[in-house]
């Protein structure tokens, strides 16, 4: 991963001591659509502010690459999105992320997830299948969003879990007692 891409993600990451796990985004084989999509977004962002005359051709190539992988994955993740390093999309089909949403470092987002404008997702967050994160929502570090949860107008504390429609917050201490 290039230095400029790491600088961009460090601006997103409010905790510089949390390092992105770039292995989560590394393409091991060519046919890995979710990682190829993330790679095309990262490559475009790397060349986005470059004023070199040839950079417009390089950006055009990455836009075409991005559009191909967008069609293959069925995901709607814009080129100008603010995603921290180490994003993992096990099944990217139907993932929709608004360009002004901020996704932290080392997050996992499953299929059919919608994240709208003015949402801030912390670091190491797991977002389950079909979850909808709407309106002015902030999700703390190490939080979990349950499958099909609808989280709106709330703050999910760090290490908490949000489940249900509308989502209710289960604090971390209560989670431990449920598993005992």
- For residue 153, say if its preceding peptide bond is cis, omega within 30 degrees of 0: no
Looking at per-residue pLDDT, the higher value among 30 and 142 belongs to: 142
Assess whether pLDDT exceeds 50 at residue 138: yes
With beta carbons less than 8 A apart as the criterion, state whether 13 and 105 touch.
yes
* The predicted structure's pLDDT at residue 16: 67
Mean pLDDT on 144-150: 96
CATH number of 23-171: 2.160.10.10
Looking at per-residue pLDDT, the higher value among 6 and 97 belongs to: 97
According to DSSP, residue 102 is labeled E
Assess whether pLDDT exceeds 80 at residue 3: no
Q: What is the pTM of this model?
A: 0.84
Give CA 149 to chain center in angstroms: 17
Assess whether pLDDT exceeds 80 at residue 1: no
* The predicted structure's pLDDT at residue 77: 95
The length of the chain, given as a count of residues: 180
Q: What is the pLDDT of residues 74-123, one digit of tens each?
A: 999 999 999 999 999 999 999 999 999 999 999 999 999 999 999 999 99
Q: Where are the domains of the chain?
A: 23-171
Question: Which residue bears the tokens 């969003």?
Answer: 145
* CA pair distance 67, 118, nearest whole angstrom: 25
Looking at per-residue pLDDT, the higher value among 87 and 3 belongs to: 87
* The predicted structure's pLDDT at residue 175: 53
DSSP-H helix ranges across the chain: 3-12, 33-47, 55-73, 172-179
Q: What is the pLDDT of residues 18-50, one digit of tens each?
A: 888 888 888 888 789 999 999 999 999 999 888
* The predicted structure's pLDDT at residue 176: 55
Q: What is the pLDDT of residues 48-63, one digit of tens each?
A: 888 888 988 999 999 9
Q: What is the largest CA-CA distance in the chain?
A: 61
Work out the percent of the chain whose per-residue pLDDT is above 90. 71
H or E element, residue 71: helix 55-73
* CA pair distance 122, 49, nearest whole angstrom: 26
């Amino acid at each position: 991963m290039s230095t400029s891409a790491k600088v961009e993600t460090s601006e997103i990451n409010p905790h510089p001591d949390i390092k992105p796990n770039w292995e989560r985004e590394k393409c091991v084989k060519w046919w890995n659509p979710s990682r190829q999509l993330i790679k095309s977004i990262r490559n475009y962002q790397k060349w986005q502010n470059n004023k070199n005359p040839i950079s417009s051709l390089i950006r055009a190539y990455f836009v075409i690459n991005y559009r191909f992988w967008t069609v293959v994955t069925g995901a709607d993740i814009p080129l100008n999105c603010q995603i921290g390093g180490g994003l993992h999309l096990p099944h990217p089909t139907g993932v929709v992320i608004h360009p002004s949403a901020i996704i932290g470092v080392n997050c996992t987002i499953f299929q059919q997830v919608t994240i709208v404008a003015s949402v801030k997702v912390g670091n190491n967050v797991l977002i389950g299948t079909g979850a909808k994160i709407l309106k002015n929502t902030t999700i703390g570090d190490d939080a979990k969003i349950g499958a099909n949860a609808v989280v709106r107008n709330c703050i999910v504390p760090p290490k908490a879990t949000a489940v249900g429609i509308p989502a209710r917050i289960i604090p971390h201490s209560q989670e431990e007692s449920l598993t005992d």
